[in-house]
Structure formats: structure tokens, C-alpha cells
């Protein structure tokens, strides 16, 4: 509303304080009040829409025109102040608000909504200036005013409480912020007039929940904020903020494919609205770089971060003053991943320097920088320097973050580890036990709410540190329990779930357990579909609404199943989330000649625990986790090179020094002595280690040339000494053995030419979740797959044997078939992982595509499809590329492997990288044949590998790239 007043002091202040940035348009000779009101309304609407915001000169001309008539408009003044703030002139914006406050008070509006709104705007500009303490004080004044004017339960009062929560959050007072958000947001949600500020504060709340460690709660809050996107102007800050937080939460949950597409969508929108040199564009680019780095794409990540840092030059970071520090932190992470420790320290120091003038608004980032700096100093052996840095970080964390917050947990356990390195073992153990108890309680609470997945990944490093502290304190029993928790993953949870089905002893409870898992898989699939439906590829009308309705229906189904389980199987929650097994329990369960091996990558050394029938042994070797990761990367690169068709297979080199560096660190002389008499190793590992079959590591230093086939054959590969299998978890229950006794072979789909390349980039079109059948059909055919499956059938000699191949090998056929009668199921086809994030949504097996693709059959049997199958198989053989790995589930042996275990498979033979057709044929068939003759699954695989390695007629057969692709996963 426009008000006429007796003074023009406000307008004079505005014009006198602001330099002319461009020639202002000439004011009309005369105008009517109705005309002025109309033009003011248009200016305010343009600012709120965001796509065509009026520039400063146009606003100044309107203000000057009002001054000639002795008028002013509070809304226009606020728009002008916001525009100044966006231009980096926060002091002038604050001055305008101070003048407006004085004008309102002088004209009898001291106790009005206009006064409250002006105070809130002033607080925003104080935040932009970097004066968080003053902003918080101003918001408290506004809150008191609105409570007097409208009452404590009014939407406005709730809004201010949410903004106070935002100020507290910005100052790092996370616990207080969460309480305030919890009180304010439910009131705001039901007031349509508060839609825009509600969207902003819901995104803030999601960010606070994420930092507190409640990743599932953060995802729910992020989804709520993003769901308001269509109701907000395209340029509204809440839209970009919601996208930012959703992408970040998905990243922290390990759902990298979804995170990448969400954040790319955000970067594109930010560039469209504000250009490349814009704080929103830079912030989203930083998060996108984080996602890329976590997928091992460090070159792309580093380039994006360097560009983001350069784009910040001369840009006002506004309410994100710690953004330069965050970018420096991520550049340090990339440097550490590349083995460049000195460069990482430079970035960390520069990050701290960038926060010197920020004050309390930089506390959270400052603490994270100090924690990482402490970690680098620990690696350098500077324990005193490391302790000083982490104690400074803990001063903040212990004051303002909940005990279970991942960042606080990481720093607290790091402090305990540093104490152990300094010889203060008893104190270190006490601290470690206290932090571990917090993590366990948080995980137990998360399991009860079905919200454990995100915390598993967040706490992994801390549990490894606790294991290290425990062995240093001569408490290997505690270390063994911590190692089990560190190895816990989604596939481990699935493995335990199968044991739960059997443990119930009640067919109804077992069926309910299975239905619960199926519904959880469906819920995750729908959530992913919703993410991709909102991607920049476009969304069909009503698609998201339909997905939301489906999610609501599944949530209702989940609640009903949970209630039935509570009635039929009251111990379900406890059995589903068991405590780690004791050493004696594992000893008693070991078969003769078996041992459990648990390698852990601690900060500055590799720690290995071994359990045999004689007891627990452990040892450590001085290989830090970044050096170990680089060694693993080196081995994977050599494998990739060895698989290139342009490489001479018989002369391809393999870096055996790297294999020895890692193998020697895990299988030290002490560990090898403890394994004397052992024939089979059950490996329980975590993280990067599980991206390699351990059989390709060396237990003795290599001799000869790395490209000499005979030298490669003569090397002391671990597979020569031991049969190796991977255990997802040490489960306390046992699944009832399947009574099925038949073989099913699936594969050899009808595809393109033999020499076609595998390219997932065109498998999907637009925003669809249905694959492009023609693109699937262009994938290369597999001429040996039919014979491979036939030879497996002959090797097993089971009466109930079937093949589904060629044109019959369709998704429809597999979904409709009764698979419960087969004890062995083999797939010989392409396995695709979600590496092309624009297209392939989840891991999948390629089958014969239909003429008319549909949701039910598009030629790709995805992980979600697999998880819905009903199997009773003793083992499933996935003779397909990359069937054992997958990024989206956040861990090794995920993706397809996890899905088949979900479906009911007891064990899996999976490939860890693309397998050459002839090698896949020989290894899978010979493994099946050996097992049929009475060998254990692991020993059968070992014999098949050694046979291929020794056969000089196999091109490249001496190279691990050819003989080591398969890994056996045994529950």
C-alpha cells in the first residue's frame, strides 16, 4: 500500500546513498496515483518472479517519482533494499531499513506487521553483511513484536521462529536450531500466505537434519521443499536451495546417480538465472564436484572446483560466507585421494584463512577444515599438531552439535586415535568406547525407524578407528565387534534379513518379512523414479503426482506389514539388527580349514584381524588409507588396460608391485603364520578393498618383468594358497536350505553385431524410466553365451534343467516363470551398472528387448526387478560385466548382487569388471563342474582360475585382468 507522508527523507536517503549505475529512465511529466500504484505493483511482481528483476536505476526512478508527490511505498523500498544487497551493498540496504523503521514508528505503525516485516528484512541484510549476531538479535525483536500483535501461534510468529532457527543454524548452534524448526514448521505448513518462506525454511531444516546425521529425515524434508517447486517462481531462491539440499542428501545416502542428475539440474537453472559467476551456481557446482569425487571422477571434480573458486572472485557470497572454505575443503579431499598430501594441507590452510573474517557463520566449516587438517598431520606423524587441530574442532562440535552427528563422531574418534598414537592408551579406549556407544545407540534407533542406511556409511571410518584403538589397548574383542560394524552395508543387512526369515520359525512371519523387504525395495524404486521425473529431461503431466500417490500407497502398506509383524513376530526388530558376534561364536561356527579375514584401512596403517578355530590374531602394516586407495586404483587401471581390445593380451603388463604392496600389508608374516593350515578364507571387508577380488594380491615380492607371462604365472598370488569368498556379514541365523534341485540358464539375448560396443548412453529417452528397445538391441551379441549355459547344464547333470535363451530370454518370461524349483541359476549376458547417470537408472541385466517396450518389459532386468523375484537358489551365477559392483547403493557387492540376495539366493558368483567372453565361459563352466564333483564353491572357483592361468593357449591368461574377474559372495 502507498502512503502519503510529510517528509521525503527516506527517498532522499535512498538516492543520496546510491551511485548511479546507469542512466535512469526519464520520469513521466505527470502521473496519476492509480498509475503509480500499478507500476509499483509491476516492479514488485517482477522482483518476486525472479526472471526479470528490475535493475537499480529503474527502481531509483520510481522512488524519485514518489518523492515528487510526497509518497513512499514500504514494499518498493524493501525491493530496492534487497536489490542493493544482491549487488553487494548490504550496508546501504540496512540503512534503508533503519530509515523505514523510523518512518513507520513516526507514523504510528511501531506495532504493525509492516514493522515486523521490515525488521526481518533488516536481519536478512545483516546476514548478508556477515553480522550473524546482530541478525539474530533483530529477529528476536521481530518475534516479540509479532507475538504481541498476532499471538504466539500465528503464522508470522512461527515464521520468525523458523528464521531464528536459521540464524542459530548459521552460527553453528545445531541443536537449538532443530528444536526451533520442529516448533515452527508445522504451524507454517498450513498457511498458504507463507509458502515462499516455508519452502526456504524447510530446505534449511533439511540441511540441519543432514548435518545432525538424520539423513532419512533430511531426505523427507528435502522432498517437501522440492515438491513446492511448481508453486514458486522459477527464480525464487527456495527452488535452488531445495535442489541443492536434495542433491546433497542423496549424495550422503550414497545415491550418487540421483544426486548427480539433481545437482546438474540445479547448476543449469542457476546459470540460466544468474550466470556462471553467481553464488548459487558456484554452490551447486561445488556440491556436484563432491558427487563426482565420491565416484572416483577426481579429474572432473577438481576442474569443477577450480572453476568454482575462480568464479567467486569479486562475488559477494551473501548468506554463504563459508563457501570458499567449503570449496577448499573439497579440493583438499581430492588432493588426498590423489596422494598429494602437501597440496591438501595448503588447501586446508587457505580454507581456514578464508574464514577469518566470517565469525560464527563459519564455525561448522572451520571445524571440518580443522578435522581434516588433523587427519593430514596424523598421517605425517605430527601427533601434537593433529591433537591441537581436532581439539579446536571439538570445542565447537561439543557445544553446538548433537552427540550422534557424523562430523562430531568423526572428530571425537579421531581424537581418541591420536591419544592412542601418543601412548595414552587407557584414555583413548575410554573415549573410543563412549563414542562407539553413541554410534551404536544411534544405529539401533535408526534401525527401529527404518533409517539406518545413511548412518552406516557415515560411521564407517569411526568404527575402523575404534577397532584400531581397541587392538592398541589390547582389547581385540572390542576391535572384532567394531570391525563387524565397519563392514556393515546394505547387502549385509539383506544377508541378515534372509536369516531373519528363517529365524522366525513361523511361515506367516517369514512371508511378512519378505513382503516388508519387497515393499521397501518398491519404496526406494519409486523414490528414485520421482528424482528422475524431476530431472531436466522433462516431466510428463501428472507423472510426479502418480508417483506420489504410489508412494503414499506403499507407505500405508509398510505400516500395515510392520503392525502385523509386531503381532506375529515381536522379536523382528531385535533379530533384524543383531549385535556383533563374539569371537568364540565365530570360532565355533568355522568349518575345518576355514578362517575369517577382516582387513581394515585405518588412517595411517592397514589393520588385519583373523579368526581361526584357534582364536583371534591381528597385525598392522604402515600403509595409510589414501596410499592403499591409490594402490587399489592402480590395480583397477591395469585391469582396465588389460581388457582393451587394442592391447596385446599376451604382453599386457600388470603392476605386481602394487599387488604386493597391498597384499603384503594385509597378509603380513604374522597373519600368514596365523593362517597356517587354512585352505579357505572368508573375507569380511569394507569400502574400497571390496572393489577387488583379493585373490589377485601377492603374498611374496614379485620376480621378473611385469609383462612376462611366465613371470606372471609364477607369482605368489593369494589364489594359489587359498580359496577366497566374500561374506557380507557374520550373521547369527541360518536360512533354511533350499529343497530345490535344478538348473536354469538364462541369457544369450538377441542383440546386435558381435563387434558392437557397449554404450549405455542411449538406453533411455527423455524423462522416461522405460529403456529404448532399439538402443538395447544395438548392444553387442554374445556368441559364446548359449554354449556356456549348455555346458553348465551338462556339467551339473541335474534332471530338472532348463535354458531360457535367445528370443525367449525376455523380461516377461523371467518375471512370469516359477524360479523356486532351481538350486542353481546362471545368467550369461551383459551386466550394466549405473555409470551413465543421464540414462541408466540402476544396475541391470540385458535380455532380449520386445518390439513394444513397456514398464513391465523393456529388455532390462533391473536390480529392482530382480529383488522382486522369488528364489530358493543355492547359488546364482552372474556371468556378466560388473555384476558385483554398483555405485548407487553406496558399497561394494551392491547393485545386482544385493538384489539377487534380496530375492533369496544363498550365494553368488559375480564379476567385478567386464569379462572377456571366452574367459567367462571357461571360468563359470569349470567352477560349476568342480562344485558338481564335490568341491566347495570357493575351491571350485580357485581350481578354475588356476587352470585358466596355467593354460598358455588362452590369450592373456596369465594376466589377472583375464583370470581374476569373478568373486564368490557367500552368505
The tens digit of pLDDT for each residue in 437-473 reads: 999 988 877 654 455 556 777 788 999 999 999 999 9
Q: How far apart are CA 829 and CA 917, in angstroms?
A: 10
Q: What is the CA radius of gyration of the chain?
A: 31
**Per-residue confidence band for 356, with pLDDT thresholds at 50, 70 and 90:** confident
pLDDT band at 745 (very low <50, low <70, confident <90, very high): very high
Q: Which helix (H) or strand (E) holds 844?
A: strand 844-846
Helices 113-129 and 155-170, axial angle in degrees (round to 10): 10
Which of 77-86, 229-238, 520-529, 723-732 tops mean pLDDT? Answer: 77-86
Judged by DSSP in three states, 698 sits in: strand
Average pLDDT over residues 104-116: 87
Say what the pLDDT of residue 536 is: 45
Percent of the chain with pLDDT over 90: 34
Instruction: Using the predicted structure, report yes or no on whether residue 589 has a pLDDT greater than 50.
Output: yes
What mean pLDDT is reported for the chain? 82
* CB distance 160 to 152 below 8 Å: no
pLDDT band at 650 (very low <50, low <70, confident <90, very high): low
Average pLDDT over residues 661-666: 96
Give me the pLDDT at residue 393, please.
96
* Residues linked to residue 259 through DSSP beta bridges, in sequence order: none
pLDDT value at residue 257: 82
pLDDT of residue 760: 42
- pLDDT tier, 890 (very low <50, low <70, confident <90, very high otherwise): very low
- Rounded mean pLDDT of 419-436? 97
Query: Cβ of 351: how many Cβ atoms within 10 Å?
Result: 27
Are the C-beta atoms of residues 166 and 198 closer than 8 Å to each other?
Answer: no
Please compute the mean of the pLDDT values over residues 485-512 and round it to a whole number. Answer: 61
pLDDT at 494: 53
849 near 859, Cβ under 8 Å? yes
* Torsional class of 96: left (φ above 0), alpha (ψ -120 to 50), beta (otherwise): alpha
Q: Report pLDDT for 38.
A: 92
Percentage above 70 pLDDT, the chain: 83
Give 283-334 pLDDT, tens digit per residue.
999 999 999 988 888 889 999 999 988 988 877 776 678 889 999 999 999 9
pTM of the model: 0.78
DSSP reduced 3-state for 752: strand
Q: Is the pLDDT of residue 104 over 50?
A: yes
- Look at residue 11 in the predicted model and tell me its pLDDT: 30
- Is residue 201 scored above 70 in pLDDT? yes
Measured from the Cβ of residue 711, the count of other Cβ atoms closer than 10 Å reads 16
3-state secondary structure 313-344: CCCCCCCCCCHHHHHHHHHHHHHHHCCCHHHH
The region of weakest confidence among 379-388, 627-636, 891-900 is: 891-900
Q: Identify whether the C-beta of residue 435 lies closer than 8 Å to the C-beta of residue 466.
A: yes
Rounded to the nearest 5 degrees, what angle is found at the Cα of 635, between the Cα atoms of 632 and 638?
Answer: 150
Helix (H, G, I), strand (E, B) or coil at 233: coil
Work out whether the CA dihedral 508, 448, 166, 415 comes out positive or negative: negative
| E strands, 783-838, in order | 800-806, 824-828, 831-832
Q: How far apart are CA 190 and CA 195, in angstroms?
A: 9
Amino acid at each position: 500500500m502507498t502512503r502519503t507522508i510529510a517528509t521525503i527523507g527516506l527517498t532522499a536517503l535512498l538516492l543520496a546513498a546510491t551511485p548511479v549505475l546507469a542512466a535512469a529512465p526519464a520520469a513521466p511529466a505527470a502521473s496519476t496515483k492509480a498509475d503509480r500504484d500499478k507500476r509499483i505493483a509491476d516492479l514488485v511482481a517482477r522482483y518476486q518472479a525472479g526472471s526479470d528483476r528490475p535493475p537499480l536505476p529503474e527502481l531509483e526512478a520510481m522512488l524519485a517519482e514518489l518523492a515528487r508527490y510526497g509518497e513512499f511505498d514500504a514494499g518498493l523500498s524493501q525491493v530496492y533494499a534487497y536489490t542493493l544487497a544482491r549487488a553487494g551493498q548490504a550496508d546501504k540496504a540496512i540503512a534503508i531499513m533503519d530509515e523505514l523503521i523510523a518512518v513507520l514508528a513516526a507514523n504510528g505503525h511501531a506495532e504493525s506487521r509492516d514493522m515486523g516485516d521490515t525488521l526481518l528484512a533488516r536481519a536478512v541484510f545483516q546476514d548478508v553483511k556477515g553480522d550473524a549476531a546482530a541478525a539474530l538479535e533483530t529477529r528476536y525483536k521481530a518475534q516479540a513484536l509479532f507475538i504481541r500483535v498476532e499471538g504466539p501461534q500465528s503464522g508470522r510468529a512461527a515464521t520468525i521462529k523458523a528464521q531464528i532457527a536459521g540464524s542459530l543454524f548459521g552460527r553453528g548452534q545445531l541443536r537449538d536450531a532443530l528444536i526451533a524448526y520442529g516448533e515452527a514448521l508445522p504451524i507454517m505448513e498450513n498457511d498458504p500466505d507463507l509458502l515462499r518462506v516455508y519452502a526456504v525454511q524447510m530446505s534449511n531444516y533439511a540441511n540441519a537434519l543432514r548435518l545432525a546425521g538424520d539423513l532419512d529425515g533430511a531426505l523427507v524434508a528435502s522432498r517437501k521443499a522440492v515438491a513446492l517447486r511448481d508453486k514458486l517462481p522459477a527464480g525464487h531462491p527456495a527452488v535452488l536451495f531445495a535442489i541443492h539440499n536434495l542433491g546433497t542428501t542423496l549424495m550422503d545416502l550414497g545415491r550418487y546417480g540421483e544426486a548427480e542428475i539433481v545437482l546438474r539440474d540445479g547448476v543449469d537453472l542457476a546459470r540460466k538465472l544468474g550466470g556462471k559467476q553467481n553464488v548459487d551456481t558456484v554452490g551447486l557446482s561445488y556440491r556436484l564436484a563432491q558427487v563426482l569425487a565420491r565416484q572416483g571422477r577426481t579429474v572432473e571434480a577438481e576442474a569443477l572446483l577450480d572453476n568454482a573458486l575462480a568464479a567467486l572472485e569479486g562475488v559477494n557470497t551473501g548468506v554463504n560466507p563459508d563457501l570458499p572454505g567449503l570449496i577448499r575443503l573439497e579440493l583438499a579431499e581430492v588432493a588426498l585421494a590423489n596422494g598429494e598430501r602437501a597440496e591438501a594441507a595448503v588447501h586446508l590452510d587457505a580454507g581456514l584463512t578464508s574464514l577469518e573474517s566470517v565469525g560464527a557463520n563459519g564455525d561448522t566449516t572451520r571445524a571440518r577444515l580443522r578435522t581434516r587438517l588433523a587427519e593430514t598431520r596424523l598421517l605425517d606423524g605430527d601427533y601434537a599438531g593433529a591433537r591441537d587441530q581436532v581439539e579446536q574442532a571439538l570445542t565447537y562440535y561439543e557445544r553446538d552439535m548433537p552427540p550422534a552427528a557424523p562430523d562430531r563422531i568423526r572428530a571425537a574418534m579421531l581424537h581418541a586415535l591420536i591419544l592412542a598414537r601418543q601412548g595414552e592408551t587407557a584414555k583413548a579406549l575410554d573415549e573410543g568406547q563412549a563414542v562407539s556407544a553413541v554410534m551404536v545407540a544411534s544405529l539401533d534407533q535408526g534401525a527401529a525407524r527404518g533409517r539406518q542406511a545413511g548412518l552406516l556409511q557415515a560411521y564407517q571410518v569411526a568404527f575402523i578407528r575404534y577397532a584400531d584403538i581397541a587392538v592398541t589397548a589390547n582389547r581385540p574383542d572390542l576391535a572384532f565387534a567394531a570391525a563387524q560394524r565397519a563392514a556393515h552395508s546394505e547387502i549385509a543387512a539383506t544377508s541378515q534379513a534372509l536369516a531373519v526369515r528363517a529365524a522366525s520359525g513361523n511361515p506367516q512371519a517369514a512371508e511378512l518379512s519378505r513382503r516388508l523387504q519387497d515393499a521397501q525395495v518398491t519404496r526406494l524404486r519409486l523414490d528414485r523414479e520421482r528424482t528422475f521425473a524431476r530431472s531436466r529431461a522433462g516431466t510428463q503431466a501428472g507423472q510426479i503426482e502418480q508417483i506420489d500417490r504410489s508412494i503414499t500407497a506403499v507407505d500405508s502398506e509398510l505400516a500395515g506389514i510392520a503392525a502385523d509383524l509386531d503381532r506375529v513376530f515381536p522379536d523382528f526388530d531385535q533379530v533384524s539388527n543383531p549385535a556383533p558376534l563374539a569371537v568364540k561364536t565365530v570360532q565355533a561356527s568355522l568349518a575345518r580349514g576355514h578362517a575369517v579375514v577382516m582387513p581394515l584401512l585405518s588412517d595411517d596403517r592397514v589393520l588385519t584381524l583373523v579368526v581361526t578355530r584357534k582364536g583371534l590374531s591381528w597385525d598392522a602394516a604402515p600403509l595409510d588409507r589414501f596410499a592403499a586407495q591409490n594402490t587399489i586404483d592402480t590395480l583397477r587401471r591395469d585391469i582396465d588396460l588389460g581388457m582393451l581390445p587394442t592391447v596385446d593380451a599376451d604382453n599386457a603388463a600388470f603392476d605386481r608391485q602394487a599387488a604386493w604392496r597391498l597384499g603384503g600389508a594385509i597378509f603380513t608374516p604374522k597373519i600368514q603364520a596365523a593362517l597356517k593350515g587354512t585352505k579357505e578364507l572368508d573375507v569380511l571387508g569394507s569400502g574400497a578393498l571390496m572393489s577387488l577380488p583379493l585373490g589377485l594380491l601377492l603374498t611374496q615380492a614379485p620376480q621378473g618383468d611385469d609383462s612376462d607371462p611366465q613371470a606372471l604365472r609364477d607369482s605368489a598370488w593369494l589364489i594359489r594358497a587359498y580359496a577366497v569368498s566374500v561374506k557380507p556379514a557374520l550373521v547369527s541365523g541360518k536360512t533354511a536350505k533350499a529343497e530345490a534341485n535344478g538348473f536354469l540358464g538364462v541369457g544369450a539375448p538377441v542383440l546386435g553385431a558381435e563387434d558392437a560396443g557397449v554404450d549405455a548412453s542411449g538406453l533411455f529417452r527423455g524423462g522416461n524410466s522405460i529403456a529404448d528397445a532399439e538402443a538395447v538391441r544395438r548392444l553387442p551379441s554374445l556368441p559364446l553365451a548359449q554354449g556356456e549355459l549348455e555346458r553348465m547344464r551338462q556339467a551339473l547333470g541335474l534332471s530338472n534343467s532348463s535354458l531360457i535363451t535367445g528370443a525367449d530370454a525376455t523380461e516377461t518370461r523371467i518375471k512370469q516363470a516359477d524360479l523356486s524349483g532351481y538350486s542353481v541359476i546362471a545368467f550369461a549376458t551383459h551386466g550394466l551398472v549405473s555409470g551413465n547417470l543421464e540414462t541408466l537408472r540402476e544396475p541391470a541385466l540385458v535380455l532380449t528387448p520386445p518390439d513394444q517396450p513397456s514398464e513391465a518389459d523393456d529388455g532390462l532386468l533391473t536390480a529392482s526387478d530382480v529383488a522382486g523375484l522369488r528364489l530358493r537358489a543355492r547359488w546364482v551365477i552372474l556371468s556378466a560385466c560388473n555384476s558385483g559392483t554398483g555405485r548407487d547403493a553406496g558399497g561394494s557387492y551392491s547393485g545386482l548382487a544385493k538384489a539377487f540376495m534380496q530375492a533369496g539366493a544363498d550365494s553368488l558368483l559375480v564379476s567385478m569388471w567386464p569379462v572377456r567372453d571366452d574367459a567367462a565361459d571357461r571360468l563359470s563352466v569349470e567352477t560349476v563342474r568342480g562344485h558338481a564333483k564335490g568341491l566347495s564353491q570357493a575351491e571350485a572357483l580357485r581350481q578354475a582360475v588356476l587352470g585358466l592361468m596355467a593354460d598358455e593357449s588362452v590369450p592373456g591368461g596369465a594376466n589377472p585382468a583375464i583370470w581374476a574377474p569373478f568373486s564368490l559372495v557367500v552368505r
